[in-house]
Structure 1
Amino acid sequence: MPLKIYGPVQAGGSLGAVLMVLAEKQVPFELVPIDMGKYEHKTPAYRALQPFAQTPVMDEDGFILFESRAICRYLAEKYADRGTALIPTEPKAKARFEQGASIEFANFHPYAVPIIMEGLGKPLKGGATDKRVYDAAVAGLKERLAAYEVVLGTQRFIGGDEFTLADVFHVGHGAFLAHAGCDLMTSSGPNVARWFGEITARPSWTRWVRDGDAVRSTAAYDSE
Structure 2
Amino acid sequence: MAIKIHGMPQSGCTLRVLAAAHEKEIDYELVHVDLKTGAHKHPSFLSLNPFGQVPVFQDGDLTLIESRAITRYIAYAYENQGTPLIYQDPLQMAHLTVGLEIEAHQFDPVASKLGWELVYKNYLGMQTDEELVKEYEEKFAKILDIYEVYLSKNKYAGGNSFGLADVHHMPALETLNGTRLSKMIDERPHVSAWCKDILSRPSWQKCLAIKNAAH
User: Comparing 54-63 with 185-194, which one deviates more in the overlay?
Assistant: 185-194
Q: Which residue of 1 aligns with 2:4?
A: 4
Deviation at 1:187, TM superposition (A): 2.5
Aligned equivalents of 2:192, 2:91: Cα separation in 1 = 26
> What are the residue-to-residue correspondences of 1:157-176 with 2, within 5 Å?
157-176=156-175
Query: What code does the residue aligned with 2:6 have?
Result: Y
User: TM-score, normalising length from structure 1?
Assistant: 0.90
Structure number with the higher helix fraction is: 2
Aligned equivalents of 1:180, 1:57: Cα separation in 2 = 28
Give per-residue Cα distances to partners, 1:137-159, cap 9 Å, x unaligned: 22111110100000000011010
Query: What code does the residue aligned with 1:134 have?
Result: V
**Counterpart of 2:64 in 1: which secondary structure?**
strand
Q: Which residue of 2 aligns with 1:189?
A: 188
**Counterpart of 2:178 in 1: which secondary structure?**
helix
Unaligned 5+ segments in structure 1 are 219-224
> What are the residue-to-residue correspondences of 1:1-224 with 2, within 5 Å?
1-10=1-10, 12-183=11-182, 186-210=185-209, 215=212
Aligned equivalents of 2:189, 2:212: Cα separation in 1 = 25
Instruction: Indicate conservation of the 8 Å contact 1:76/1:85, yes or no.
Output: yes
Aligned equivalents of 2:205, 2:184: Cα separation in 1 = 17
Query: What code does the residue aligned with 2:119 have?
Result: L
Number of residue equivalences: 214
User: TM-score, normalising length from structure 2?
Assistant: 0.93
Aligned equivalents of 1:55, 1:179: Cα separation in 2 = 23
Aligned equivalents of 1:71, 1:61: Cα separation in 2 = 14
**Counterpart of 1:31 in 2: which secondary structure?**
strand
Give per-residue Cα distances to partners, 1:9-32, cap 9 Å, x unaligned: 44x511111111111111100000
Unaligned 5+ segments in structure 2 are none
* Structure 1 residues 42 and 181: alpha-carbon distance in aligned structure 2, compared to 1, 3 A threshold: farther
Instruction: Indicate conservation of the 8 Å contact 1:146/1:188, yes or no.
Output: no
Deviation at 1:184, TM superposition (A): 5.1
Query: What code does the residue aligned with 2:199 have?
Result: T
Instruction: Indicate conservation of the 8 Å contact 1:118/1:130, yes or no.
Output: yes
* Structure 1 residues 152 and 9: alpha-carbon distance in aligned structure 2, compared to 1, 3 A threshold: closer
Deviation at 1:43, TM superposition (A): 1.2
**Counterpart of 2:208 in 1: which secondary structure?**
coil
Instruction: Indicate conservation of the 8 Å contact 1:14/1:173, yes or no.
Output: no
**Counterpart of 2:203 in 1: which secondary structure?**
helix
Higher relative contact order (CA 8 A, sep 6+): 1
